[in-house]
Amino acid sequence: ALYQPPDITKPCYVRVNTLKLDVDSALHELGKQFKVQKDDMIPHLLVLPPHTDLHNHSLVLNGSIFVQGKASSMVAAVLDPKPGWEVLDACSAPGNKTVHLAALMKGKGKIIACELNKDRAKRLEDTVRLSGAANIEVLHGDFLNIDPKGPFSKVSAILLDPSCSGSGTAAQRLDHLLPSRTTDVVDTVRLNKLAAFQKKALAHALSFPAVKRIVYSTCSINQIENEDVVNSVLPLATSNGFQLATPFPQWQRRGLPVFEGSEHLLRTDPVEDKEGFFIALFVKKGSEKNSEE
């Protein structure tokens, strides 16, 4: 019998690039063609019916709106950088979250967008150009080689969205459901490798002396890339003065209950929420009151 993938219909989400267009104008423009409303949780995010085809829409082509899923749009919002901050996006390409950060910072302050892969760094530059943000410096290199005490020692916040298995995305999940799939051993090796990098990168982020907020995110549903990574750095986080905070406390789905404190973590479900994401937020103790600085 032919393999029939499950029907996954999800609303189409677009994030208004407030560097170029305000939300009401976007609602007005899109409302001429589509049924559109504001998302109830994420500012600047609009919800359209499933299968809305926007890829040739003038607002997409001119960078006024970005097609970006809800879970993906949570990440920069959780970091919540303030205008004027210096922020490091550790693993940036293709740059959706980078330009979201720029919009949240109203184009003020500085974003260093690091990307290891040369071709992907070019894509990142294209995204930055399209967004109109003038405060993003693209850095083609290895995040692990950035000296925390070097030229970027003053960064106040780090967004770490490292390479992951992508097992939370619909395409990957369908792939897992294919009957002919026989790659379990390869998967374990690959997952272990990814998790080792993710732990190293998160530990590195925790070593920047002026950082007040760190967001760690993946589009994976695997505990080994998510809760286990966070759990492994907790002793270092604590000794460097960080604690886990609770992003979007009203969100029901939290981390798997595998260690004390995992209720702070946020998960989205690949079926119920149509996309499996994971978000952890580390906050430097005592910095909460100064978040407007």
Q: Is 227 annotated as a binding residue?
A: no
Site size with ligand SAM, rule: CB under 6 A = 18
Burial class from Cβ neighbours inside 10 Å (0-12, 13-18, 19+) for residue 239 reads exposed
Nearest to 266 by CA among 8, 41, 23: 41
**Binding-site string for ligand SAM from residue 85 to residue 114, where x marks contact by CB under 6 A and - marks none:** ------xxxxxxx----------------x
**What span, in angstroms and rounded, lies between the C-alpha atoms of 292 and 31?**
35
Q: Is 164 annotated as a binding residue?
A: no
Q: Is 222 annotated as a binding residue?
A: no
Q: Is residue 225 involved in binding ligand SAM (CB under 6 A)?
A: no
Is 164 designated active site?
Answer: no
Nearest to 159 by CA among 125, 191, 120, 115: 115
Q: Of the two residues 48 and 194, which places its CB atom closer to ligand SAM in the complex? A: 194
Nearest to 206 by CA among 126, 72, 90: 90
Residue 162 contacts residue 198 (beta carbons within 8 Å): yes
Q: Of the two residues 27 and 60, which places its CB atom closer to ligand SAM in the complex? A: 60
Give the residue nearest to ligand SAM (CB): 91
Residue 46 contacts residue 14 (beta carbons within 8 Å): yes
Q: Is residue 117 involved in binding ligand SAM (CB under 6 A)?
A: yes
CA distances from 98 to 77, 101, 149, 203, 243 (A): 11, 5, 23, 21, 24
**What span, in angstroms and rounded, lies between the C-alpha atoms of 164 and 167?**
8
Q: Is residue 168 involved in binding ligand SAM (CB under 6 A)?
A: no
**What span, in angstroms and rounded, lies between the C-alpha atoms of 163 and 92?**
10
Q: Is residue 125 involved in binding ligand SAM (CB under 6 A)?
A: no
- Name the active-site residue from 12, 114, 164, 219: 219
Q: Of the two residues 27 and 203, which places its CB atom closer to ligand SAM in the complex? A: 203
Q: Is residue 128 involved in binding ligand SAM (CB under 6 A)?
A: no
β-pairing, 65-67 vs 37-38, is: unpaired
Q: Is residue 116 involved in binding ligand SAM (CB under 6 A)?
A: yes
Q: Is 94 annotated as a binding residue?
A: yes
Q: Is residue 163 involved in binding ligand SAM (CB under 6 A)?
A: yes
Q: Is 91 annotated as a binding residue?
A: yes
Residue 128 CA to its chain's centroid (Å): 16
Q: Is 95 annotated as a binding residue?
A: yes
Residue list for the binding site: 91-97, 115, 142, 161
Residue list for the binding site for S-adenosyl-L-methionine: 91-97, 115, 142, 161
Give the residues lining the site for ligand SAM (CB under 6 A).
91-97, 114-117, 120, 142-144, 161-163
Active-site amino acid positions:
219
